[in-house]
Amino acid sequence: MTDSIRFPERFLWGAATSAYQVEGSPLADGAGASNWHRFAHTPGMTANGETGDVACDHYRRMPEDVALMRRLGLTAYRFSLAWGRVLPEGTGRVNAAGLGFYDRLVDQLLAAGIAPNATLFHWDLPAALEDRGGWLNRDIAEWFAAYADTVVRRLGDRVAMWATLNEPWVVTDGGYLHGTLAPGHRSPYETPIASHNLLRAHGLGLRAIRAAGGRQAGLVVNLEPKYAASDRPEDQAATRRAEAYMNRQYLDPVFLGGYPAELAEIYGEAWPEFPAADFDVIRAPLDFLGVNYYTRAVHRHEPRAWPVGAGRVRQPQHTYTSMDWEVYPQAFTDVLLWVKARYGDCPLHITENGSAFYDPPTVEGEELADPLRVGYLRDHLRALHRAIAAGADVRGYFAWSPLDNFEWSAGYAKRFGLIHVDFATQRRTFKASARLYAEVIRTHGAALGA
């Protein structure tokens, strides 16, 4: 039994989605196609050929979904904007109808007592910009800054928190190195260039947000703490490379002004030199860092495991989610304290945390039992509280996700939602995990001690 759990005053209790995963109607009302729209419509790129054409139909059902969030008791909601819905060509002409959707969403949230938390880029790049080189074109940092200016000038009077990018590591590892995500490239030469331009866009985006009157601006990264499988020097070295590649690649430049030395070792001749002046842009101070945490990795030396030479060691004593991710809550505590120790006292928000387990496509009744997700949520919130008690300055928690949604190349089979979505009928049904989360919010954490 865990006693005396109480989260800090004014702690934000939220949930998070992204545009392409929930909105549907990707070309409606003058929106421009995204690279994800193209990728999902390319045969063989997604499970069962599934796309985000309908997803949760949130674009048309937004008021209903906000009402569900209010029923959950959320005090904040993190969403992303579809860049191509706002700027169909990625630059220049503003699509009034597209920007108007987000204007209405913000007003609907505020009327429900829910603070809007907006992310400018969550993987869906306008296809028109992909045609101009996408993240391989240095000009994209300026394009992104102009997009940020457009959005913040319209919504910044009501949106208090802005994130520039969501999980740039996933964009480059999946999209440029392994080809499993949009835009589907496979090139070790392209990957570090895309990574660097994402960080430059983040830096110029921060400037644009602040110049347009944005009050809090930050970056969202996914962190996966790395543990060596043994004390053998080769396992230790492999683990350090894996940590540098996934966790330090995007944080060291932002907080320390340079890339980890291991990246040159990992990429070899594909690692370029970058202008020193770029790091003055990238290192702009953050108002907050968003941390997305799902799992950890235990690594051993494995020369054939490209690109870092680190293989993952399965832990048979622990539960794994349907994404094949180990459930290990202590790593959540560990990684938050690691961020504090390495990078100092930047305020943190847990911008994503959640689990995919099997749920039936159709639900009978008013609530779906999901005991594995309930256990994951309870144990990770307890782990979060331990990190706060140990000194981590965490100011909010956003569960991924309020709704089952389109899980990128995995399609619709991987369900992360606190609320079940029957994708054939769009019927929404609360799960037991939603009821637990609502009680945690209502008691400000005390329900976790029961």
Amino acid at position 390, single letter: A
What is the 8-class DSSP label of residue 177?
A: I
Arithmetic mean of pLDDT, 103-122: 98
**Closest Cα partner for 226 from 348, 355, 356, 328?**
328
Contact of 22 with 105, CB cutoff 8 Å: no
Arithmetic mean of pLDDT, 357-369: 97
User: Is 5 inside a domain boundary?
Assistant: no
| pLDDT tens for each residue of 38-94 | 999 999 999 999 999 999 999 999 999 999 999 999 999 999 999 999 999 999 999
Arithmetic mean of pLDDT, 342-365: 97
Whether cis (ω within 30° of 0) applies to the bond prior to 355 is: no
Interatomic CA distance for residues 329 and 267, integer angstroms: 32
Interatomic CA distance for residues 299 and 379, integer angstroms: 24
pLDDT score recorded for residue 1 = 42
User: Is 107 inside a domain boundary?
Assistant: yes
Number of domains making up the chain: 1
pLDDT confidence bin for 108, thresholds 50/70/90 = very high
User: Is 7 inside a domain boundary?
Assistant: no
- 89 catalytic, yes or no? no
Q: Which of 23, 50, 190, 352 is catalytic?
A: 352
Bridge partners, residue 165, by sequence: 121
User: Is 113 inside a domain boundary?
Assistant: yes
| pLDDT tens for each residue of 117-158 | 999 999 999 999 999 999 999 999 999 999 999 999 999 999
**pTM of the shown model:** 0.98
Q: Is the pLDDT confidence value at 3 over 70? A: no
C-alpha distance from residue 330 to each of 227, 274, 346, 403, 449 (Å) = 12, 37, 21, 26, 17
| pLDDT tens for each residue of 232-282 | 999 999 999 999 999 999 999 999 999 999 999 999 999 999 999 999 999
Q: Is the pLDDT confidence value at 367 over 60? A: yes
CATH code where residue 41 lies: 3.20.20.80
Q: Which of 130, 167, 262, 326 is catalytic?
A: 167
pLDDT confidence bin for 4, thresholds 50/70/90 = confident
User: Is 385 inside a domain boundary?
Assistant: yes
pLDDT score recorded for residue 450 = 59
pLDDT confidence bin for 2, thresholds 50/70/90 = very low
Contact of 301 with 234, CB cutoff 8 Å: yes
User: Is 4 inside a domain boundary?
Assistant: no
Interatomic CA distance for residues 339 and 342, integer angstroms: 5
Amino acid at position 56, single letter: C
User: How large a percentage of the chain has pLDDT more than 70?
Assistant: 99
User: Is 234 inside a domain boundary?
Assistant: yes
User: Is 67 inside a domain boundary?
Assistant: yes
Q: Who contacts 359 (Cβ-Cβ below 8 Å, separation ≥6)?
A: 368, 370, 404, 415, 420, 431
Containing domain of residue 434, as a range? 12-449
Using CA of residue 276, residue 278, residue 280, residue 282, what is the dihedral sign?
negative
- Burial state string for 282-297 with b = 16 or more CB within 10 A and e = fewer than 16: bbbebbbbbbbbbbbb
Contact of 402 with 418, CB cutoff 8 Å: yes
Query: From the centroid of its chain, how far is CA 236?
Result: 28
- 234 catalytic, yes or no? no
Q: Who contacts 250 (Cβ-Cβ below 8 Å, separation ≥6)?
A: 168, 169, 195, 199, 219, 221
Q: What is the mean pLDDT of the chain?
A: 97
Whether cis (ω within 30° of 0) applies to the bond prior to 303 is: no
**Closest Cα partner for 444 from 412, 396, 402?**
396
